[in-house]
Amino acid sequence: MSISGLPVLNDILLAHKRISPYIHHSPVMTSSGINEMLGAEFYFKCENLQKVGAFKFRGATNAVLSLTPEELRHGVGTHSSGNHAAALALAARNAGVPAYIVMPSTAPAIKKAAVASYGGIITYCEPTQAARESTMDRIQKETGCTFIHPYNRFEIIAGQGTAALELLDSCPQLDAVMAPVGGGGLLSGTAIAAKSINPDISVWAGEPANADDAFRSMQFGSIQPALPSNTIADGLLTSLGTLTYEAIRSHVDCIMLCPESFILEAMKLIWERMKIIIEPSSAVPLGALMANPGLGWKGKKIGIILSGGNCKLELA
């Protein structure tokens, strides 16, 4: 563990060894059509094909497998709008313990159904951070479960970093690697892994323009709260945590904002050209590049982590 409380490369390597028997080693896919249209060479790490349909299974599995028998005895719990909830429910089921999940009542129906299908014990709350946290506190006191934060936890960040580890193992020639940012767990792990393997690589993030708290946090030099937002990228609505803020401040070169129209355009482009389903949050990095053609990415080799594929098909 690093002095700052953040994982280092060796922690990510250990996490990868720990979770490898349980995860999908998702493919890296390319599209000559997208490359020609946008003027760069893209390598898409398809975490939309990960178990539970999202990268979150990596971090959740690492967190559960890192707990002591005493910490696991009463199960685990979390609050999440969907993907982390489903990931923790499945990781807990694999470990033979219950998962207590607090979800906002407004979470997409497909994500509610997924959590239930993996055996998660769901309690619904109002769609605010305060309601999530207070409801989780109550359930934790009632059950004695161990709380697994969706992103602001050492083991979660280390687990999420394993996606970038695999991407760079497959594509060591990359000039830049990119991920979406909400709470920052994926981006933090990606940035730590990428910069540790290749200090010269650029690490970029895509964030919805309608939910730009990470962008504002980097501008102001302190964590800025997530404000109410109507973005289609429902997985990116949370504020940065203390750990993820430090990781992003230290290791991420640029956060690019993506308007809603470009989220939809990028999502449809990947659907149509690559014949794979991604959710809106996954489309934000490519959409952010499309919305910011003057930021110096043309002609580069860019790895993009497609974070998930749990999408309401009527969005198309």
Contact in structure between 198 and 187 (CB atoms under 8 Å): no
* Residue 69 CB-density burial (10 A; 0-12 exposed, 13-18 middle, 19+ buried): exposed
Residue 301 is among the residues annotated as catalytic for this protein: no
Which residue of the set 26, 66, 80, 81 is catalytic? 81
Q: How far apart are CA 191 and CA 78, in angstroms?
A: 24
Contact in structure between 281 and 229 (CB atoms under 8 Å): no
Which residue of the set 45, 56, 111, 195 is catalytic? 56
Residue 229 is among the residues annotated as catalytic for this protein: no
Residue with token string 């309601």: 131
Q: How far apart are CA 96 and CA 84, in angstroms?
A: 18
CA angle 46, 82, 114 (to 5 degrees): 85
User: Measuring CA to CA, which residue among 30, 135, 20 is closest to residue 77?
Assistant: 135
User: Measuring CA to CA, which residue among 75, 93, 100 is closest to residue 22?
Assistant: 93
Sheet holding 176-180, edge to edge: 28-29, 41-46, 301-306, 176-180, 202-208, 254-258
Q: How far apart are CA 141 and CA 138, in angstroms?
A: 5
Q: Which residues are catalytic?
A: 56, 81
